[in-house]
């Protein structure tokens, strides 16, 4: 199984990275191949809503790394999103990536699994209700099957995450997503 992981975190060693790294360990232990896209460190521009992609076969006028990502999503069996939670929402870097799916959305539709890895300082699931709602709506639009959620509650630092059960949950989700 090929899995694309999209992380929005601007911290290479942060809370979201702990979850992503553990997810990858679990997935690779089952023989799955991983394509990782760290949005904060890639060249990704916001959608301009010019709709040129509708006229030219889904090709965006932006010449950036989103083409590579979308090609990998199209070829993947699962797509995993990872983000720190800022003000009750995913980080901006991940949102920009998701907005750019517009150009390729018809080709990305179809049976895939999807999962969500979140980290936050807050300690209540109420904080992520909107994220989960939007994630499920996006999955439904694309015809993707939600396979799981790991929400690292009360974790403001990578060290906070490492002291919890959340890394083990992310590793287990990595093992399970391909089943």
pLDDT for position 105? 87
* Assigned token pair, 85: 């939670």
Whether 149 and 132 have beta carbons less than 8 Å apart is answered as: yes
Bridge-based pairing of strands 89-90 and 78-86 is: antiparallel
Domain residues for 70? 2-176
Number of domains in the chain: 1
Q: Measure the CA–CA gap between 104 and 97, rounded to whole angstroms.
A: 12
Percent of residues, the chain, with pLDDT higher than 90: 95
pLDDT of 179 over the 90 cut = no
Task: Tell me which of 3-7, 129-133, 175-179 is least confident.
Answer: 175-179
pLDDT for position 178? 78
* Interval 46-62 mean pLDDT: 91
pLDDT for position 51? 93
Which residues make Cβ contacts (< 8 Å) with residue 51, sequence separation at least 6? none
pLDDT digits (tens, 9 = 90+) for 64-96: 999 999 999 999 999 999 999 999 999 999 999
Task: Tell me which of 4-13, 27-36, 57-66, 89-98 is least confident.
Answer: 57-66
pLDDT digits (tens, 9 = 90+) for 121-142: 999 999 999 999 999 999 999 9
Q: Measure the CA–CA gap between 152 and 38, rounded to whole angstroms.
A: 19
pLDDT for position 118? 98
* Interval 14-42 mean pLDDT: 98
Measured over the CA atoms of residue 41, residue 26, residue 173 and residue 15, the dihedral's sign is: negative
pLDDT of 25 over the 90 cut = yes
* Assigned token pair, 142: 């694309």
Percent of residues, the chain, with pLDDT higher than 70: 100
Q: Measure the CA–CA gap between 58 and 135, rounded to whole angstroms.
A: 23
Compute the mean pLDDT over every residue in the chain, rounded to the nearest whole number.
Answer: 96
Whether 26 and 171 have beta carbons less than 8 Å apart is answered as: yes
Cβ-based neighbour number of residue 33 at 10 Å? 12
CATH code (residue 58): 3.40.50.360
Helix/strand/coil percent split, the chain, to 5: 45, 20, 30
pLDDT for position 57? 87
């Amino acid at each position: 199984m090929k899995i694309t992981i999209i992380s929005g975190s601007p911290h290479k060693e942060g809370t979201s990275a702990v979850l992503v790294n553990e997810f990858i360990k679990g997935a690779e232990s089952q023989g799955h191949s991983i394509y990782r896209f760290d949005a904060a460190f890639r060249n990704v521009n916001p959608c301009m809503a010019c709709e040129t992609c509708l006229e030219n076969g889904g090709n965006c006028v932006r010449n950036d790394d989103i083409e590579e990502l979308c090609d990998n999503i199209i070829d993947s069996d699962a797509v995993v999103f990872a983000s720190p939670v800022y003000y009750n929402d995913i980080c901006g870097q991940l949102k920009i990536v998701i907005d750019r799916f517009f150009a390729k959305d018809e080709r990305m539709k179809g049976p895939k699994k999807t999962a969500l890895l979140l980290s936050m300082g807050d300690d209540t699931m109420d904080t992520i209700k909107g994220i989960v709602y939007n994630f499920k709506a996006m999955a439904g639009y694309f015809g993707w099957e939600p396979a799981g959620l790991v929400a690292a509650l009360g974790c403001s630092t990578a060290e906070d995450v490492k002291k919890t059960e959340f890394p083990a949950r992310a590793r287990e989700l990595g093992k399970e997503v391909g089943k």
